Amino acid sequence: MIQLSELVLASHNAGKLKELQAMLGAAVKVRSIGEFSAVEPEETGLSFIENAILKARHAARVSGLPALADDSGLAVDFLGGAPGIYSARYADGRGDAANNAKLLEVLNDVPDAQRGAQFVCCLALVRHAEDPLPIICEGLWYGHILHAARGEHGFGYDPLFWVAERDCSSAELAPTEKNQLSHRARAMALLKQRLGLA
């Protein structure tokens, strides 16, 4: 079991830092990659796992600390897993609203029964930049893609992601409830088990 008191998160996103710090608790201090470098590594992997490992190794290299990276996105069954690793830049980097509009357009005539999807979160933890045995934890959150956006919470594809067990979209969930159900929460629960923090 890896003993950690401090790690660097391979993200400049303050919200993600706060969320992961809350999930890990006081036993592990989470620092931002922004303290060490403004450079983002090129995500050249073809999968969530490959990109998470690339980002974790980069963060460990520039910080000298163990590093945790998260690669997440939406995989739509009808689209063969797209937008997948390109979820954040699906509409050529024009933001969440453009991504959602493009997804609705692509799925315009697709019936409900074929609109299955899952949010994917892959976490990669490395003890150092050349760690031959990264810890990989994956979380999946199954749902369906709606025909129109619903809800005001969340970000990304949340307004289009129907959560059947709650009878609402992800963007209609309270943030605390989303953080118990989400793909990231599921991946973090596995990581905490692996680190003996659960």
Planar angle of CA 74, 114, 97, nearest 5 degrees: 40
How far is 56 from 191, CA to CA, in rounded Å? 14
In angstroms, the Cα distances linking 19 to 68, 109, 115, 137 are 13, 37, 29, 17
Select from 11, 70, 66, 69 the least CA-distant residue to 38. 11
Given a contact cutoff of 8 angstroms between Cβ atoms, the answer to whether 136 and 191 are in contact is: no
Q: What is the pLDDT of residues 34-52, one digit of tens each?
A: 999 988 888 899 999 999 9
SS (H, E, C) 117-137: EEEEEEEEEECCCCCCCCEEE
The per-residue pLDDT for range 121-130, each reduced to its tens digit, is 999 999 999 9
- Residues marked active site are found at 71
**For residues 117 and 147, what is the distance between their CA atoms, to the nearest angstrom?**
13
Question: pTM here?
Answer: 0.91
Helical ranges in the chain per DSSP H: 14-24, 48-63, 96-106, 175-181, 183-194
What percentage of the chain has pLDDT greater than the value 90? 76
At 19, list the tokens. Answer: 């969320």
Go through the domains of the chain in sequence order and give each one's CATH number.
6-194 (3.90.950.10)
